[in-house]
Amino acid sequence: MPRGETERRYRSYLITGFFILAIWYLLARILDSIALPTPLAVFFAFIAGLAEGSLISHLAISALRVFYGLALASSLAVPIGLVSHEEGVDKFVAPFVYLLYPIPHIVLLPLIILLFGIGDLSKIILIAIIVFFQILVTTRDASRNLSINYVYSMLSLSASKRDIYKHVIFPACVPKILTAMRISVGTSIAVLFFVESFATRKGLGYLIMDSWSRANYPDLYATIVAMALLGFGLYIVIEKIEKRVCRWVYI
């Protein structure tokens, strides 16, 4: 992406951020409630949390849980979605997706805790299960909708099946895979809050519930901001990866 366009994009981020802060400040002044502190009070609480180190440690733990969850889900969903290009494979994958995808997987948390305990593993597995289907469905649709003419062109050059996947199917599906991962970031952050809101004393979700129980609203909003920044950061990282590996999309 040209440098000027990048600067315009970051400038738009700043303008949007200032706009949100202005609305926040006006609402805090109009409502005049302790439940809605001003952005400045939240900023001081955020800085204090960073200085103490508590916010950074909880943020790091949450970031690792989301990262491992997304990595686990992608490592399973992407290969299955790609090989769904084969009719024989898709006959098995399609019923699996249609039957299990509509289930609200968040209800599996008690069962996952019983099987894997209350540590990080259960939280990572639940995040992975939920975003797995989002990535799988998108990857499967991308591979299934790929024009067969591209495959025939490679076969006419005596390409092997491995070559077809390496040079045709995977490159064609990468933009959709990364789009699915960007969508999954928002989902994984939402699941993160749910899994960290009980049976743990680590993570941003725990910190939010702890601040709420103590009626410490500046800390509560500071932690919410930290969770939002985590999601935004992951979104930007995936976007950067897309610009590097899918340069033809931005031509």
- Digit-by-digit pLDDT tens for the chain (251 residues) are 555 666 777 788 888 889 999 999 999 999 988 899 999 999 999 999 888 888 999 999 999 999 999 999 999 999 999 998 888 888 888 888 888 888 888 888 888 888 888 888 999 999 999 999 999 999 999 998 888 888 888 888 888 888 888 888 888 899 899 999 998 998 999 999 988 887 788 899 999 999 999 989 999 999 999 999 999 999 889 888 888 887 766 55
Q: Is residue 49 part of a domain?
A: no
Q: Is residue 3 part of a domain?
A: no
Q: Is residue 167 part of a domain?
A: yes
Burial class (CB in 10 A: 0-12, 13-18, 19+), 68: middle
Q: Which domain holds residue 214?
A: 54-250
Q: Is residue 36 part of a domain?
A: no
Burial class (CB in 10 A: 0-12, 13-18, 19+), 124: buried
Q: Is residue 180 part of a domain?
A: yes
Based on the structure, what is the number of domains in the chain? 1
> Which CATH number belongs to the domain containing residue 122 in this structure?
1.10.3720.10
Q: Which amino acid is present at 230?
A: L
Structure pTM? 0.86
Give me the DSSP letters along 210-246. HHHHTT-HHHHHHHHHHHHHHHHHHHHHHHHHHHHH-
Q: Is residue 18 part of a domain?
A: no
Q: Is residue 34 part of a domain?
A: no
Q: Is residue 41 part of a domain?
A: no
Amino acid 244: pLDDT: 83
